[in-house]
Chain A
Amino acid sequence: MSEAVLERVHEDVHKTQPWNNPDAVPYIRFENVTKKFGDFYAVDDVSLDIYRHELFALLGGSGCGKTTLLRMLAGFEEPTSGKIYIDGVDMAGVPAYERPTNMMFQSYALFPHMSVEQNVAFGLVQDGVSRSEIKELVAEMLGLVQMSKFAKRKPHQLSGGQRQRVALARSLIKRPKVLLLDEPLGALDKKLREQTQFELVNIQEKVGTTFVMVTHDQEEAMTMASRIAVMNEGVINQTGTPFELYEYPNSRYTANFLGQVNLIEGVLVDDDEKYAVIKSDEAGCEIYIDHAVQGHEGMTFWVALRPERLRITKEAPKETKYNCVSGKVEEIGYLGGISTYHVRLESGKRIKVTEPNSTRQIEPRYTWEDTVWVSWEAGAASVLNK
């Protein structure tokens, strides 16, 4: 490849993935931010960079500090220590009503005594925008969220999905530098949620605003976000693209939180520059890893295996020295497109395997109490040390 082409590829990467560009200036920056409520650390020394035009997701269980982080960005909470910058401006002491952020609340927080139109116009009226301009902008915004027909309705006359759209329109109309979304789809049912996920992404692409959203739903985060920060107990566990987090989790917590995973405990017995071998009593076998592992022999590791990367067979594979265990099928879940099997190993450990039903079968391939072999490629596993 010529130098010029290489440079263009780099430029492209830097444009779409500013986090991989060392020269990119972050749009939002958390610098060692801590928030204490009494003795409780809701957010504990978090540093995080979010770039312009990103759709960034803060992902974690309840009480992990994700909402507190969002509320500090909005100005509803002040950090106990640390600094927050938006577009280079220190946000310390800037009240919520002067911040270049707008928020879409989990409860939507639509003003019940105002019509849809008045709700959407609220921020503009507050800023003293001229009446004709407000009318134009509100109409445009309601068009964007497909709510023009309902402009005169009151919030209580709308369905959950419609309220969500109004809330989105209201928070977008002031063209904030950053739009904050607190569990934006949490109050919708599953079907509507899936549909709305893509709509939100489309709208984000259209308006180009930087979105920061909070969610506990890993699927939602993975479909929508450019990058995700996985949070636990006030600390960011790992930050990365959905791909990075799923394929290269840095901890058992992340591996568990995103998708499904089998975690097998073992001890490093052979450590080489090109490979590693982990002996696991739990699995009752030796696990061969096709890359080097940071650590020394005798150290405990966890091998993370995604259920869909495992092979299930009735006959023993040819090579059974490594990456191969046998057990009994204990539970079967037939989901149509895929089947899931829970295989009980001799050690008592249960392993979950999913298999696509890519061909039509006369009868189920495996049944309860079948003895089966579960095996995997050397590259399928990731090795975790925490």
Chain B
Amino acid sequence: MSSDKQEGSLTLKQRFDRWMIKHGRVLVVGIPYFWLFLFFLVPFLIVLKISFSVAEYAQPPYTPLFEWIDEGITVTLNFGNYLFLLSDSLYVTAYLNSIRIAAISTVITLLIGYPMAYGIARAQGSMRSVLLMLVILPFWTSFLIRVYAWIGILDREGLINAFLMWTGIISEPLIMRQTEFAVYVGIVYTYLPFMILPLYSTLEKMDVSLVEAALDLGCKPWQAFAKITLPLSMPGILAGSLLVFIPAVGEFVIPELLGGPNTLMIGRTLWNEFFANRDWPIASSVAIAMLLFLVVPIMWFQHIQTKQEEGQQ
């Protein structure tokens, strides 16, 4: 009896194994594709669809794109939303502001992150993993809570002001929260690990003897850095910059919590259109336009990366 059972389960397992060998590849590759299709592409297409319709007081609050009229499909595409984005200076300003803030933040993040990544990459074995751990550690706390913590630090009655007033350096509290400065602090703080990690991985792979060779051939240390280390860490700089720049452009939470009413960024505009104005079509077109803005740097990044990989082979 029991041996029969065993044999049965064995063949079942064998059958499963054979099936896995045959189809496992498709399965492994297929699952993430299916996931991306379901939760990325489909919502994107829905948003794209909405962006071509007109707002109305109804449920849902926009006109349908496809209509059955006389046993045929009629597609009504409305480009008005996109034209509106261009005509209303609010959106253009918001886009430009977002890009400016994201770009400046990226540069600051790079300036802070590069020496840190370099230090970690050149640290001794056990020290290195401790330092890396410290970079990753903030991720263990909720992003929202960390941004709230900055409110406590930058506020009128916050930590910094309290300390400076106590020491007597200032008599009036500094206005830091609800300024663009606070937005920079928030973005740089939040995205710093995304800059450090790719930089670290390129710097760590770099052969130290390359720098020694440059010194040996007559370079002063800063020249060796400029001629050897910097160009060779370019892939890391690019990867880190894009990882910071792209999400920073669309950032909503940080300008909302730390920025003032004048800090106009596209993420907030988007929020307002959706939830305050309930104009879904305009909001969707804002989202699609932002995506196009961001797709260009992503494509560029991927192009550079594939080129880099080809170069290494």
Contact = CB atoms under 8 A, between A and B. Distances in A.
Interface of A: 74-76, 95-97, 101-103, 105-107, 109, 111-113, 122-123, 126-127, 154, 156, 170-171, 174
Given A96-B212, A105-B209, A112 B217 contact: no
A109 B209 contact: yes
Contacts of A95: 215
B232 A109 contact: no
B313 to A, nearest CB: 8
B208 to A, nearest CB: 9
B259 to A, nearest CB: 40
B210 interface: yes
Contacts of B72: none
B289 interface: no
Contact of A102 (B207, B210, B217): B217
Nearest to A182: B209
Nearest to A112: B232
B228 interface: yes
A115 to B, nearest CB: 13
B243 to A, nearest CB: 23
Interface string B2-46: 000000000000000000000000000000000000000000000
Given A113-B232, A126-B223, A156-B311, A101 B216 contact: yes
A105 B213 contact: yes
24 contacts: A74-B212, A75-B216, A76-B212, A76-B216, A97-B215, A97-B218, A97-B219, A97-B220, A103-B212, A103-B213, A105-B212, A106-B209, A107-B209, A109-B212, A109-B213, A111-B210, A111-B214, A112-B232, A113-B232, A122-B214, A123-B217, A127-B218, A156-B311, A171-B217
A154 B311 CA distance: 10
Contacts of A174: 217-218
A102 B312 contact: no
B294 to A, nearest CB: 29
Task: Kindly name the residue among B215, B228, B231, B312 whose own CB sees the greatest number of chain A CB atoms within 10 A.
Answer: B215
Contacts of B217: 97, 102, 122-123, 126, 170-171, 174
Given A95-B215, A103-B213, A105-B213, 19 more contacts: A75-B215, A75-B216, A76-B212, A97-B215, A97-B217, A102-B216, A103-B212, A105-B212, A107-B209, A109-B207, A111-B213, A112-B232, A113-B231, A126-B219, A126-B223, A127-B218, A156-B312, A170-B217, A171-B216
B218 A123 contact: yes
Nearest to B223: A126
A111 B228 CA distance: 7
Task: Kindly name the residue among A76, A97, A170, A171 whose own CB sees the greatest number of chain B CB atoms within 10 A.
Answer: A97
Nearest to B231: A113
A107 B213 CA distance: 11
